[in-house]
Structure formats: structure tokens, C-alpha cells
Amino acid sequence: MWEWHGFSGGGFMWVFWILIIAAVVMVIKASSNTKNNEKSHPESPLDILKRRYASGEIDKEEFHKRKRDLSE
């Protein structure tokens, strides 16, 4: 009566490969978005200076001296 042979074998294989390809595409897109975000927002010299001051790597006097140097 009903012929299920065509879908039970080959049809599920197509669905399997489509899901695999979709997963690979999603992983590639996610990794490229991460790389683009890192490249599109590089730290400016002032940002680096602020981070160093906030972490205690340089003191207030050094911070202001270097900030003046950057603004010249």
C-alpha cells in the first residue's frame, strides 16, 4: 500500500547532512563574529593608560604625566 522505502533510507540521510552543514555554518559564523569584535575595538593608548592606573601598575603622578604626553 504505502511506500516508505524512499524516505526511510535516503530522506533521513538528507536531513542528517543538512543538520550537520547547518551546525558547521553556525560554528564558523560564531567564531568569525568573535574575531571581528576583537579587531573592531582595539584599546587606545589612553585606555591602556587608564587600565594600568586602575590596576596600580602606575601611580597618579605617572598617570598624569603620560596623559599629558599623549595629548601633545
Find the helix or strand (DSSP H, E) in which 52 lies: helix 45-54
At residue 70's C-alpha, the angle toward residues 64 and 72, to 5°, is 105
Distant-in-sequence, close-in-space partners of 49: CB < 8 Å, separation ≥ 6: 58, 63, 66, 67, 70
pLDDT of 57: 93
**What cell was used for 7?**
524516505
pLDDT digits (tens, 9 = 90+) for 14-59: 888 899 999 999 998 888 776 555 556 788 999 999 999 999 999 9
